[in-house]
Chains A and B, each alone.
Chain A
Amino acid sequence: MKAHRDICVGCGACINLCPRLAIRFIDGKSFIDQQSCIECGTCRDACGVDALQADCRFPDLLLLNSYSNPFEGEAPAGDQESPVKDSPE
């Protein structure tokens, strides 16, 4: 999704709705972090002034290949060091 900052009135309705915490609030207007956004459209449904519009970064249809497993051959989850670490703070 993209936030059109010239349309956004800065009501903040979208910010806490984002399931990916992708929306920053910069100088009183929404700004969507493109690396975090998953184009789910939750923010668009909340926007009263239609400032949030789909950016169409993803193809309309994702073809799922259920026959191949890209993780085949990797060690089972229990043997790996946990990828989740506590923050240094």
Chain B
Amino acid sequence: MKTMYDFVIIGAGPAGLMIARELAAAKQRVLLVDIKKDIEKVSRSCCTMLINEPNTHGETVRVVDNNLHFEKTGLTVKYTGRFVKMIKSSRMSPGGHKLTMVNRKEGVALPYTKEVILKNLLDEAVANGAEVVTQTAGIRAENVDGGVRVLLRHARSRKVYEVRCRIAFAADGVNSQIVNGLELFKTRKYFGSFRVASYFLDNVDYPYWDSWITCVGKGHTRYDRGQVYMVPKYLPDAAEGDKPILDVFCGTPFGMPAQKGLDSFLREGPFRDWFRNAKIVHKAACALNFYTCIMNPVEGNIVVVGDAAAFIETYCQSAMMYGYRAARASLKVLETGTGYDDYTNFWRESFEYCWPGEIEKALQGFGLGQLSDEALDYIFSLTDGEEYEGYVSENTAPDVMKKAIMSHIDQMRRERPEIAAVIEKHWKASAEDIVQA
């Protein structure tokens, strides 16, 4: 490791790797650091789906020749793994009633294997000449005369190193340590902290291999809170003819047992029969601190990219896209002295959570789980058997759900006026109310 670079990138996720690939291809001196030993290994819970809905985060991503093609950015990312075509997305109550969104033609989302994406990007970055240092975390970046001073800590020895660069990228994810040390961190508003545990299960006796399932309600686990999600996906080493595995994950507020919730769902939940012979092939977990988006994700010559600047997440695909845009913008800055506006304006205009009201909307979809199980069973019994057009997306699915449920509001008012009143009040709740409930 040298002490002076053109660019230092902290975090080798989809955003960081994309930046490294682009800048190394432009023959810049690039240092990419990550705390992990094996960069492509994924041990953080992640849905890893291609959100194929047009205009997600201002971009439409399609599968072209098995690769990911970003139509507006004009970017293609090599993918050599397999996709699952999910045509349904269902919210399921503890009684097994469903609200289902469908897209038979294109799928509601296409789960893919993140490890394959990361490995391909890493190989390309290294082939282009990027220097990659593993087992090293970024702990601080500060603007100094002529560039940025970055402090790095070795994960094994905890020894602290200093490197300097002209531009630094904070791509270290949702709990970004670099962002914590910046002035712009003070502009963020805190919502809450969640933790997640997930199992990859093989040998599951499961009827919904074409669906994304969100288990809504308290009765799915014995712990009352949290939500369970299920998504089929392929393992990185899946061969032709192999069946997908089921990624089941449980998210709970901090201090609540995510893994115990997951175990409880699998062993004693209403759908335990599916998992009687299941075998765990991989475990993952993560902790998430929810803050509002950074509206201006550049401070001096430190550029914040991907989840590090976002409310919850940008999806893998958009992390790559924003990484690409940030890399292009910073190359322009080196050449002309200006150019960050290209990136920051695009970020503000395209990332939905930067817009007013979007966080409330997404949380309303999530907050439905706070209703009583009996109410949820009743509501979803009205939508059972119906199909609504939609996608798996935090930004648009809540709207579809709202319309689906509200289309039955007259019947609800007649049969169960108390539930109708609760539902009508629910759509008016603020983000704080939902997080605190």
- B139: chain A residues at CB < 8 Å are 16
Q: Is the CB of A15 within 8 A of B137?
A: yes
Q: Closest residue of chain B to A48, judged by CB?
A: B285
- A50: chain B residues at CB < 8 Å are 257, 259-260
- B286: chain A residues at CB < 8 Å are 11, 13, 48
Cβ of B214 under 8 Å from chain A: no
Q: Please report the C-alpha to C-alpha distance between residue A27 and residue B35 in the assembled complex, in whole angstroms.
A: 10
Nearest CB in chain B: distance from A76 CB, A: 32
Q: Is the CB of A15 within 8 A of B155?
A: yes
Q: Please report the C-alpha to C-alpha distance between residue A12 and residue B260 in the assembled complex, in whole angstroms.
A: 19
Do A48 and B43 form a contact, CB below 8 Å, given A12-B36, A24-B156, A25-B156?
A: no
Do A24 and B36 form a contact, CB below 8 Å, given A13-B175, A13-B195, A48-B286?
A: no
- A84: chain B residues at CB < 8 Å are none
Contact with B along A54-89 (1 / 0, CB 8 A): 000000000000000000000000000000000001
Do A12 and B35 form a contact, CB below 8 Å, given A25-B135, A45-B254?
A: yes
Q: Is the CB of B258 within 8 A of A15?
A: no
Cβ of B177 under 8 Å from chain A: yes
Cβ of B37 under 8 Å from chain A: yes
Cβ of B376 under 8 Å from chain A: no
Contact with A along B161-190 (1 / 0, CB 8 A): 010000000000001010010000000000
Nearest CB in chain B: distance from A15 CB, A: 7
- A12: chain B residues at CB < 8 Å are 35-36, 43-44
Nearest CB in chain A: distance from B164 CB, A: 14
Cβ of B283 under 8 Å from chain A: yes
Cβ of A28 under 8 Å from chain B: yes
Q: Please report the C-alpha to C-alpha distance between residue A50 and residue B258 in the assembled complex, in whole angstroms.
A: 8
Q: A residues 1-51 with Cβ under 8 Å of B? A: 9-17, 21, 24-28, 33, 45-50
- B157: chain A residues at CB < 8 Å are 24
Cβ of B41 under 8 Å from chain A: yes
Of A10, A11, A47, A50, chain B has the most CB atoms within 10 Å of the CB of A11
Do A9 and B137 form a contact, CB below 8 Å, given A26-B155, A49-B258?
A: no
Q: Closest residue of chain A to B285, judged by CB?
A: A48
Q: Is the CB of B156 within 8 A of A28?
A: no
Nearest CB in chain A: distance from B422 CB, A: 31
Q: Please report the C-alpha to C-alpha distance between residue A28 and residue B45 in the assembled complex, in whole angstroms.
A: 15
Q: Can you identify 30 A-B contacts, CB atoms within 8 angstroms? A: A9-B284, A10-B41, A11-B45, A11-B284, A12-B36, A13-B195, A15-B137, A16-B177, A17-B287, A24-B156, A25-B35, A25-B36, A25-B137, A26-B155, A26-B156, A28-B37, A45-B195, A45-B254, A46-B287, A47-B287, A48-B196, A48-B197, A48-B258, A48-B259, A48-B286, A49-B197, A49-B258, A49-B283, A49-B285, A50-B257
Q: How many residues of A contact B (CB 8 A)?
A: 23
Cβ of B2 under 8 Å from chain A: no
Q: Closest residue of chain B to A31, judged by CB?
A: B156
Q: Closest residue of chain A to B162, judged by CB?
A: A89
- A89: chain B residues at CB < 8 Å are 162
B36: contacting residue among A13, A17, A28, A45, CB under 8 A: A28
Do A48 and B156 form a contact, CB below 8 Å, given A15-B35, A25-B135, A28-B36?
A: no
Q: Closest residue of chain A to B38, judged by CB?
A: A28
Q: Please report the C-alpha to C-alpha distance between residue A10 and residue B286 in the assembled complex, in whole angstroms.
A: 9
Q: Please report the C-alpha to C-alpha distance between residue A47 and residue B283 in the assembled complex, in whole angstroms.
A: 13
A16: contacting residue among B37, B38, B137, B197, CB under 8 A: B137
Q: Closest residue of chain A to B157, judged by CB?
A: A24
Cβ of B255 under 8 Å from chain A: yes
Do A28 and B195 form a contact, CB below 8 Å, given A13-B175, A48-B258, A49-B285?
A: no
Cβ of B158 under 8 Å from chain A: yes
Nearest CB in chain B: distance from A47 CB, A: 7
- A24: chain B residues at CB < 8 Å are 155-158
- B36: chain A residues at CB < 8 Å are 10, 12, 25, 28
- A25: chain B residues at CB < 8 Å are 35-36, 135, 137, 155-156
- A48: chain B residues at CB < 8 Å are 45, 195-197, 258-259, 285-287
Q: Please report the C-alpha to C-alpha distance between residue A26 and residue B154 in the assembled complex, in whole angstroms.
A: 10
Q: Closest residue of chain A to B34, judged by CB?
A: A12
Nearest CB in chain B: distance from A29 CB, A: 9
Nearest CB in chain B: distance from A42 CB, A: 10
